[in-house]
Amino acid sequence: MTAKQQNLERFVGSDYPHGFVTDLETDSLPPGLNEEIIRQISARKHEPEFMLQWRLKAYRHWLTMAVPKWSKLHYPPIDYDQIVFYSAPKTSADGPKSLDEVDPDILRTYEKLGIPLHEQAQLAGVAVDAVFDSVSVATTFKKQLAEVGVIFCSFSEAVLEHPELVQKYLGSVVPYSDNYYAALNAAVFSDGSFCYVPKGVRCPMELSTYFRINSLNSGQFERTLIVAEEGSYVSYLEGCTAPIRDEHQLHAAVVELIALDDAKIKYSTVQNWYPGDKEGKGGIYNFVTKRGLCRGRNAKISWTQVETGSAITWKYPSVILQGDHSRGEFYSVALTNNYQQADTGTKMVHIGKNTSSTIISKGISAGHGSNAYRGLVSVGRKALNARNYSQCDSLLLGELCSAHTFPYIEVKHPTAQVEHEATTSKISDEQLFYCMQRGIPSEDAVSMIINGFCKEVFRKLPMEFAVEAQALMEVSLEGCTG
Amino acid sequence: MLQITNLHAQIQDNEILKGLNLSVQAGEVHAIMGPNGSGKSTLANVLAGQEEYRVTAGSVHFKGTDLLQLSVSERACEGVFVAFQYPIEVPGVSNVQFLKTALNSQRKYRQLDELDAIDFLQLLKSKVQEVGMEEQLLYRSVNEGFSGGEKKRNEILQMLVLEPNLAILDETDSGLDIDALKMVAQGVNAFRNTGVGKERAIILVTHYQRLLNYIKPDFVHVLFDGRIVRSGGPELALQLEEKGYTGVIAEEAAGS
């Protein structure tokens, strides 16, 4: 482990010993979960009655559910009585006062990733107001979006200001009964993002920079809902390549996307949460339910993800291809180093006629990392002429890591065309030696090979993020070669 | 340029080089010949810095510096190039990108400006013609799915692009048909001729005299049991062809 990783760990992991202990601040609820807690959460957010009722239904359903055990992940049981399910967004009083107080190694990492200075301060948890006026920037973006009719706000705000839209679409793609973590999220979700793009509107900007600034305090049970009306287009970027100060170990987010006729949604994620230390201690457990519904004819939903962080990643961004001629895409790079585990993939559910889907998954394992691709391609009884192409490639670095591929294919219509290709390769000492003999230093050689391996996916990322993603691979693999 | 003194090296516990001496000056072409297991490839790997080989005694000086103290990539950047007997495949990385990264890494090391894509491609295309390689191979992954001959040509192409001071060709002739052999020899000769007046030398490691018909060496050395047992001019290679290694080595033993 390099000094940088140690520092990262110290930085990101510094608050974990306290994070799980009851840390009663004025605006926190006691740990554990019961109906009273849920009522309190809803009350503090001044939610309308329908929200409270939905949360309670979700909670009651969650109580009847069992923790899913089918993944390749190994982790100790989570004690939900120890988790604080509501605490008001923290002020940064306990954080550093200025960038001068931030660990220089962290700053160097930010620099390598090309994070602008004002955002560095945000990410490092520096008291924001002193450095950067996020409110005014947010206002500028909002004005620009409002001019074309795009609603983009926090979920809490949407519940208060656009309850009819929330009520109409919330849970319409991922019902609260969907799975254990989705039910938990529905019961206790703290905040998240809401985006509504009206008919025929092409969202004038990547919803990214704005989101990055606002994502900081959205917490561990995030909920995102994006609705693209007929003929509209939106590109949405979630996450950040930089390690973000985070005090929660368990994250259970839900993302719902709805695309109507001829609408297109492009959703890109870069996830780089604290992965735990070299021995596998600590690190974030990330249990996410992401699903898109191509409800209209000719709708398209595209997921692109670069997952390098978290101790555990459990995530299957999926597309339900309900509208005729609709199209789903999934492009993924998942990297596991040290003791990280990832069980990730997608589901493409073909229901309408002439639907098509593409899956490109690249898994990279290093150290003791374990990387599993798990994907389902399902072609329903009425899905005439469905097509799918899947490609799952795994790359191994070293002797102790592992890669697994679990493709499930269910076809119920004779006209379906489903293709699946899978490869496993390895970066060998011989390859590194060969590159180094040509003058390429070993770490550059590793990142050259990795970037070559991932380029099909990186190409799908918005431009500025593709560059950051490449740098991120280098940072994430630092110290894994001799 | 290269001064190897009393070099001992082993792999695991097996001593393979047992006191090798060799001196190479700029402008010279040396051929090192010897039977299987005599230590030819070990010499190439030790000079390149392959970790599996451990140097237990002796020294190697290259352009005045202690080569053994440098890392693999530093040696390359200082100008040591090895054309491998079995070039490695690097899936996912195109030949063009690989060469550009390598050249620019070396330029950076030497504090030269890195070449941009346009200048680099221009340079590359002129070199591709010298080895008679198909241009489409540039856009394929490094050596992946290349035939034996294409891999060897690719090694020579890399040599021409990187322009090392010392090129060590480890059995580059093995497994080549006569046409491919001629092409490879043509590339090596181009490298030699354009290097006149520059700090440039070549070590050819080979089993057979055949390659030396096309690349004329200044010196020929016979490597046997980890030592150079005989050195001479090009005529020595012809003797080897005639009498075999055992004949020449026996003669040497009798004579001394």
Question: What is the tens place of the pLDDT at every residue in A208-251?
Answer: 644 444 444 445 788 999 999 999 999 988 876 555 555 567 88
Minimal Cα–Cα distance from A437 to chain B, Å? 5
pLDDT digits (tens, 9 = 90+) for A33-69: 889 889 988 988 889 999 999 999 999 999 999 988 8
Residues B48 and B74: their CA atoms lie apart, in Å, by 10
Alpha helices in A124-192 (DSSP H): 128-131, 134-148, 155-161, 163-169, 180-188
Closest listed residue to residue A166, CA positions, set A156, A176, A179, A181: A156
Residues A20 and A82: their CA atoms lie apart, in Å, by 6
Give the C-alpha distances (Å, rounded to integers) separating B218 from B183, B196, B204, B248: 21, 14, 11, 19
Residue from the list A439, A441, A452 with its beta carbon closest to the beta carbon of B92: A452
Residues A42 and A187: their CA atoms lie apart, in Å, by 10
Minimal Cα–Cα distance from B45 to chain A, Å? 10
Chain B neighbors of A446, CB-CB under 8 A:
none
Specify the 3-state DSSP secondary structure of B10.
strand
Residue B84: both structure tokens together: 């491998």
The ipTM, to two decimals, is 0.95
- Least reliable range by pLDDT among A163-172, A458-467, B71-80, B212-221: A458-467
Is the pLDDT score of A476 beyond 60? Answer: yes
Between β-strands B14-24 and B166-170, what pairing exists: parallel, antiparallel or unpaired? unpaired
Q: What is the pLDDT of residue A397?
A: 86
Residue from the list A431, A439, A452 with its beta carbon closest to the beta carbon of B102: A439
Minimal Cα–Cα distance from B164 to chain A, Å? 10
Backbone angles phi and psi of A335, in degrees to 5: -120, 130
- Least reliable range by pLDDT among A39-53, A127-141, A407-421, B219-233: A127-141
Residues A357 and A383: their CA atoms lie apart, in Å, by 12
Give the C-alpha distances (Å, rounded to integers) separating A218 from A25, A59, A244: 18, 21, 12
Residue A46's CB: how many other CB atoms inside 10 A? 10
Return mean pLDDT, chain A. Answer: 81
Minimal Cα–Cα distance from B108 to chain A, Å? 10
Residues B237 and B221: their CA atoms lie apart, in Å, by 9
Given a contact cutoff of 8 angstroms between Cβ atoms, the answer to whether A307 and A344 are in contact is yes
Q: Do B88 and A431 touch (CB under 8 A)?
A: yes
Q: What is the pLDDT of residue A259?
A: 97
Q: What is the pLDDT of residue A2?
A: 40
pLDDT digits (tens, 9 = 90+) for A427-457: 888 999 999 999 999 888 988 888 888 888 8
Q: What is the pLDDT of residue A26?
A: 41
Specify the pTM. 0.78
Residue from the list A428, A430, A444 with its beta carbon closest to the beta carbon of B101: A444
Q: What is the pLDDT of residue A347?
A: 95
More confident residue, B65 or A399: B65
pLDDT digits (tens, 9 = 90+) for B116-148: 989 999 999 989 888 888 889 999 999 999 988
Q: pLDDT band at residue A128, thresholds of 50, 70 and 90?
A: very low
The residue ranges of DSSP E strands in chain B, in sequence order, are 2-11, 14-24, 29-33, 53-62, 65-66, 80-83, 90-94, 141-142, 166-170, 201-206, 219-224, 227-232
Which site among A437, A455, A481 would you substitute to test the B interface, given the most B Cβ atoms closer than 10 Å to its Cβ?
A437
Q: What is the pLDDT of residue A135?
A: 44
Backbone dihedral region for residue A295 (phi beyond 0: left; psi -120 to 50: alpha; all else: beta): alpha
Chain A neighbors of B48, CB-CB under 8 A:
433, 437
Chain B neighbors of A333, CB-CB under 8 A:
none
Where b means 16+ CB within 10 Å and e means fewer, A190-212 reads: bbbbbbbbeeebebeebbbebbb
Residues A471 and A40: their CA atoms lie apart, in Å, by 43
Dihedral, CA of residue A376, residue A377, residue A381 and residue A386, to nearest 10: 170
Convert B28-82 into a string of H (helix), E (strand) and C (coil). CEEEEECCCCCCHHHHHHHHHCCCCEEEEEEEEEECCEEHHHCCHHHHHHHCEEE
Q: Tell me how many helices (H) and strands (E) chain A has.
A: 15, 18
Q: pLDDT band at residue A89, thresholds of 50, 70 and 90?
A: low
Which site among A436, A442, A448 would you substitute to test the B interface, given the most B Cβ atoms closer than 10 Å to its Cβ?
A436
More confident residue, A182 or A145: A182
Backbone angles phi and psi of A170, in degrees to 5: -60, 125
> Identity (one letter) of the amino acid at A182?
A
Is the pLDDT score of A22 beyond 60? Answer: no
Q: pLDDT band at residue A119, thresholds of 50, 70 and 90?
A: low
Residues A300 and A88: their CA atoms lie apart, in Å, by 37
Q: What is the pLDDT of residue A103?
A: 66
pLDDT digits (tens, 9 = 90+) for B83-113: 999 999 998 899 999 999 999 999 999 999 9
Is the pLDDT score of A157 beyond 70? Answer: yes
Most confident of A185-189, A190-194, A346-350: A346-350
Closest listed residue to residue A440, CA positions, set B100, B63, B43: B100
What residues have CB less than 8 Å from A82, skipping those under 6 apart?
A20, A31, A32
Chain B neighbors of A438, CB-CB under 8 A:
76, 81, 98, 102, 105, 158, 162
Q: What is the pLDDT of residue A346?
A: 95
Chain A neighbors of B49, CB-CB under 8 A:
436-437
Is the pLDDT score of A29 beyond 80? Answer: no
Is the pLDDT score of A358 beyond 90? Answer: yes
Residues B46 and A340: their CA atoms lie apart, in Å, by 37
Long-range contacts of A108-114 (CB under 8 A, 24+ apart): A108/A4, A109/A4, A109/A8, A109/A242, A109/A243, A109/A475, A110/A242, A112/A471, A112/A474, A112/A475, A113/A241, A113/A242, A113/A468, A113/A471, A113/A472, A113/A475, A114/A467, A114/A468, A114/A471
Specify the 3-state DSSP secondary structure of B126.
helix
Residue B112's CB: how many other CB atoms inside 10 A? 11
Angle, in degrees to the nearest 10, between helices A463-477 and A442-458: 140
Residue B209's CB: how many other CB atoms inside 10 A? 18
Chain A neighbors of B110, CB-CB under 8 A:
none
Place of tokens 């190479």: B24
Angle, in degrees to the nearest 10, between helices A429-437 and A442-458: 110
Residue from the list B76, B93, B141 with its beta carbon closest to the beta carbon of A439: B76
Residues B85 and A469: their CA atoms lie apart, in Å, by 36
Given a contact cutoff of 8 angstroms between Cβ atoms, the answer to whether A310 and A280 are in contact is no
Minimal Cα–Cα distance from A402 to chain B, Å? 19
Q: What is the pLDDT of residue A161?
A: 92
Residue from the list B94, B102, B141 with its beta carbon closest to the beta carbon of A438: B102
For CA atoms A180, A331, A357, A235, give the dihedral sign.
Answer: positive
Residues B190 and B187: their CA atoms lie apart, in Å, by 5
Backbone angles phi and psi of A12, in degrees to 5: -75, -35
Place of tokens 């070039």: B87
Q: pLDDT band at residue A138, thresholds of 50, 70 and 90?
A: low
Is the pLDDT score of B163 beyond 90? Answer: yes
Q: Tell me how many helices (H) and strands (E) chain B has.
A: 7, 12
Minimal Cα–Cα distance from B92 to chain A, Å? 5
Q: What is the pLDDT of residue B48?
A: 95
Percent residues over pLDDT 90 in chain B: 64
Residue A185's CB: how many other CB atoms inside 10 A? 28
Place of tokens 């870069």: A270
